[in-house]
């Protein structure tokens, strides 16, 4: 047995990994998540909002990171809609407007038809300028945004009339997958106006370590990669869709299945490889 394992063709390992990823997808295998403190803090920050509170939804991601960040954006939009807050969507990325429209179509228009555009939510769209946009709107929203994404004058939008700058926002929710993103929101909005602005968000797994030092000072909480998305999904769905939730609100947990199985296989192969190595050394 040991000699066979020593000479095992690596293609068998590739086949096992393919099976570990494919089986959860084909059979829709999901694992119940145990939310960590970061995810719980994000949930609590939104849960503590009052109906009518203005929330800035900064969708700074594009299709290349949608796999990790799309489920977060969907869960954020659902949670804030359930809390009946007023949602102000913006993006610092040129492709960001597509991500905003995806969230609005998938969540608000589909499941919250009573929400009225311009009264309960608005899409302010994309403005070029990277972090320069943040520096302007933190003191003067109309310094850059004279119209919404549809071209409607901002003064004709009821929910924008009393918003002079983003310091009026009760919370900033940022979904970050690139530059500019969460780091710039921390540096140019939250840090200079700490105490006035509160930030939660979600990032890709590879970006997350650079944001950990900001918690809990500049950031109230953060979702990390698809794992964080799955944990937050479970918290939101358990409270607001406890029975028969729509599949779009389970995407994080569905995408965690292949990842979890793949990780289990990798750990098992590492342990097996060490057993074979040490057994051969004694021989």
What does the pLDDT look like over 50-72, one tens digit per residue?
999 999 999 999 999 999 999 99
pLDDT of residue 166: 96
Asked if residue 283 has pLDDT above 60, the reply is no
Residue 256, in any domain of the structure: no
| Long-range CB contacts (within 8 A, 24+) of 148-156 | 148/122, 148/123, 148/124, 149/97, 149/100, 149/123, 149/124, 149/125, 150/123, 152/118, 154/124
- Mean pLDDT score, 219-227: 95
pLDDT for 1? 64
In a domain, 219, yes or no: yes
Q: Is residue 31 part of a domain?
A: no
The answer to whether the predicted template modeling score (pTM) of the entire model surpasses 0.85 is: yes
Same domain for 159 and 273, yes or no, is no
Residue 147 sits in the same domain as residue 19: no
* Residue 252 maps to a domain: no
What digits encode the pLDDT tens for the residues 30-46?
A: 777 789 999 999 999 99
Does residue 147 fall inside a structural domain?
yes
Q: Answer yes or no: is 253 within a domain.
A: no
pLDDT of amino acid 144: 93
In CATH, what number is assigned to the domain containing residue 172?
3.40.50
At residue 217 the predicted structure's pLDDT band, cuts being 50, 70 and 90, is very high
Name the nearest CA neighbour of 169 among 97, 79, 104, 85.
85
13 plus 47 within the same structural domain = no
Same domain, 7 and 111: no
Range of the domain at 20: 2-26+263-282
Q: Are residue 17 and residue 72 in the same domain, yes or no?
A: no
Q: Do 100 and 157 fall into the same domain? A: yes
Q: Judge if 110 and 234 occupy the same domain.
A: yes
Q: Is the same domain home to 18 and 112?
A: no
Mark whether 79 and 49 lie in a shared domain.
yes
Mean pLDDT taken over the chain: 93
Is the pLDDT assigned to residue 227 strictly greater than 60? yes
* 210 found inside a domain: yes
Distance CA 157, CA 147 (A): 9
What's the 3-state SS for the chain?
CHHHHHCCCHHHHHHHHHHHHHHHHHCCCCCCCCCCHHHHHHHHHHHCCCCCCEEEEEEECCHHHHHHHHHHHHHHHHHHHHCCCEEEEEECCCCHHHHHHHHHHHHHHHHCCCCCECCCEEEEEECCCCHHHHHHHCCCHHHCCCECCCCCEHHHCHHHCCCCCHHHCCEEEEEECCCCCHHHHHHHHHCCCECCECEEEEECCCCHHHHHHHCCCCCCEEEEHHHHHHHHHHHHHHHHCCCCCCHHHHHHHHHHHHHHHHHHHHHHHHHHHHHHHHHHHHC
> Considering its fold, how many domains does the chain have in total?
2
Indicate the pLDDT class of residue 254, thresholds 50, 70 and 90: confident
89 in the same domain as 215: yes
For residues 9 and 108, state if they share a domain: no
215 belongs to a structural domain: yes
- State whether 220 and 239 are in the same domain: yes
Position with higher pLDDT, 32 vs 123: 123
Q: Is 208's pLDDT higher than 60? A: yes
């Amino acid at each position: 047995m040991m000699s066979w394992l020593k000479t095992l063709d690596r293609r068998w390992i590739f086949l096992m990994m393919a099976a570990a990823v494919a089986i959860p997808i084909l059979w829709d295998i999901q694992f119940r998540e145990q939310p960590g403190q970061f995810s719980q803090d994000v949930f609590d920050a939104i849960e503590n909002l009052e109906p009518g509170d203005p929330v800035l939804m900064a969708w700074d991601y594009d299709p290349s990171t949608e796999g990790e960040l799309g489920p977060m954006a969907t869960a954020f939009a659902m949670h804030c809609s359930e809390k009946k807050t007023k949602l102000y969507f913006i993006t610092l990325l040129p492709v960001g407007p597509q991500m905003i429209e995806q969230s609005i179509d998938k969540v608000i228009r589909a499941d919250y038809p009573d929400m009225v555009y311009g009264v309960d939510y608005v899409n302010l769209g994309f403005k070029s300028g990277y972090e320069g946009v943040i520096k302007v709107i933190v003191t003067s929203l109309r310094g850059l945004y004279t119209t919404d994404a549809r071209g409607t004058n901002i003064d004709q939008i009821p929910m924008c009339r009393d918003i002079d700058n983003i310091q009026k926002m009760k919370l900033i929710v940022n979904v970050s997958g690139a530059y500019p993103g969460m780091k710039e929101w921390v540096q140019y909005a939250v840090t200079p106006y700490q105490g006035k602005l509160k930030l939660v968000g979600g990032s890709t797994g590879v970006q997350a370590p650079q944001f950990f030092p900001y918690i809990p000072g500049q950031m109230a909480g953060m979702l990390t990669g698809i794992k964080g998305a799955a944990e937050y999904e479970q918290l939101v769905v358990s409270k607001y869709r406890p029975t028969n939730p729509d599949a779009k609100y389970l995407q994080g947990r569905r995408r965690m299945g292949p990842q979890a199985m793949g990780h289990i296989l990798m750990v098992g192969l590492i342990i097996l490889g060490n057993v074979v190595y040490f057994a051969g050394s004694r021989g």
